[in-house]
Amino acid sequence: MNALLLWFHQLGSPPNFHAFAGRWAPWGYAIAIPLLAYGIYSGLFVVPADYQQGDSYRILFVHVPSAWMSLFIYGAMAANAFIALVWRIKLSETLAMCCAPIGTWWTWDARLTSELVLLFLYLGVMGLYAAIEDRRAAARAACFLALIGVVNVPIVHFSVTWWNTLHQGATIKLIGKSTIDSSMVAPLIAMTLGTKAWFVGSLLARARAAMLELESGKDWVKRMALRTSA
Amino acid sequence: MSELFDMGKYGFYVWSSYALFAAMLVWDIVLPRLRERRVLRAVAQRAQRERARKDTKSENAA
């Protein structure tokens, strides 16, 4: 086994993951906070008002990253669900299940019916996970649902082009010229990267706690608990 | 200054959306810490109970 594969393999062991997540989760938050602070400050006070929507458009700087996060986290959840179902890795099950509540937080800022469907998928994953007694069987069932629900992700993405409703079309494009004013791009990018970094920190912290609970009968947790309580 | 917080006439709309965003982040950072602490405390209590039970059993045997 080469070094990277070995490292990856060892990371899957709960005590190793616990130490790893404890070490790296603060970095996720640490990277996120200045980015979000800059993005929020700039979005609220620096960039000019929109020529049509006035100041009300300023929610853009939380609305758009939130919508993107709801999709991005769903993708992360589905990827982990796939790994969990195929290779039966406990850590992936936990990571997938920890994505669901985080994704739900971001989905409050739903934009369209497809986002509402996404919200229901997140709730369904959490509900299914909570409904089955055996934690690992529950995780596998919920992973399966997460994987099926992934068809909704491109629907959300393309919904603004497929159906002409209240929501405006895409103005930020990876391919071709964006039609958003250039002064608004920098804070938006800061918010986007900030929320991603935050997600990394949050997922590690949540998975760490979930893993600890899942493993609460094991010796390594007992030793840690006695050490911290002493 | 009041103009700054007024946001045209959209003050409540804009500020409440940012406030919700901030509140969510705070909640998100606190939640895993509370859970971790709760699990460790429960495990420690259980371990101490088990130890106490073992001690009384060996005392009775002696």
What pTM does this model have?
0.74
Residues paired with A54 in a beta bridge? A50
Work out the mean pLDDT of chain A and round it to a whole number. 79
Predicted pLDDT at A99: 80
User: With 60 as the cut, is the pLDDT of residue A138 above it?
Assistant: yes
Inter-chain contact A63–B42, Cβ cutoff 8 Å? no
**Interval A120-126 mean pLDDT:** 82
Predicted pLDDT at A66: 77
User: With 80 as the cut, is the pLDDT of residue A129 above it?
Assistant: yes
Q: How far is CA A14 from CA A10, A44, A126, B46, in A?
A: 9, 42, 22, 20
Cα torsion for A193, A22, A89, A123, to the nearest 10°? Answer: -60
Inter-chain contact A55–B43, Cβ cutoff 8 Å? no
- The whole-angstrom separation of Cα B11 and Cα B5 is 6
Predicted pLDDT at A121: 82
- The whole-angstrom separation of Cα B15 and Cα B9 is 11
The partner residue sitting opposite B18, judged by closest CB among A44, A54, A229, is A44
More confident residue, A47 or A176: A47
Residues of chain A contacting B, Cβ within 8 Å:
29, 36, 40, 44-45, 49, 54-56, 58-59, 62-63, 66, 102, 105, 108-109, 198, 202, 205-206, 208-210, 212-213, 216, 221-222, 224-226, 228-229
Task: Tell me which of A110-114, A153-157, A181-185, A212-216 is least confident.
Answer: A110-114
More confident residue, B53 or A67: B53
| Residue A136 contacts residue A54 (beta carbons within 8 Å) | no
Predicted pLDDT at A109: 45
User: With 70 as the cut, is the pLDDT of residue A54 above it?
Assistant: no
Q: Which residue of B has its CA nearest to A198?
A: B25
- The whole-angstrom separation of Cα A91 and Cα A80 is 9
Q: Which residue of A has its CA nearest to B39?
A: A213
User: With 70 as the cut, is the pLDDT of residue A185 above it?
Assistant: yes
User: With 70 as the cut, is the pLDDT of residue A195 above it?
Assistant: yes
Q: Spell out a b/e string for A3-41, using b for 16 or more CB atoms within 10 Å of the CB, else e.
A: eeeeeeeeeeebbebbebbeeebeebbebbbebbebbbe
Tell me what ipTM this predicted complex has: 0.76
Share of chain A above pLDDT 90, in %: 6
**Interval A213-217 mean pLDDT:** 87
Most confidently modeled of A23-32, A77-86, A145-154, B46-55?
A23-32
Residues of chain B contacting A, Cβ within 8 Å:
4, 7-8, 10, 13-14, 17-18, 20-21, 24-25, 28-29, 31-33, 35-36, 39-44, 47-48
How many A×B Cβ pairs under 8 Å?
85
**Interval B6-22 mean pLDDT:** 74
pLDDT tens-digit profile of A58-85? 777 777 787 777 778 888 888 888 888 8
Q: Which residues does chain A have within 8 Å of residue B43's beta carbon, measured at their own beta carbons?
A: 216, 221-222, 225
**Interval A186-198 mean pLDDT:** 84
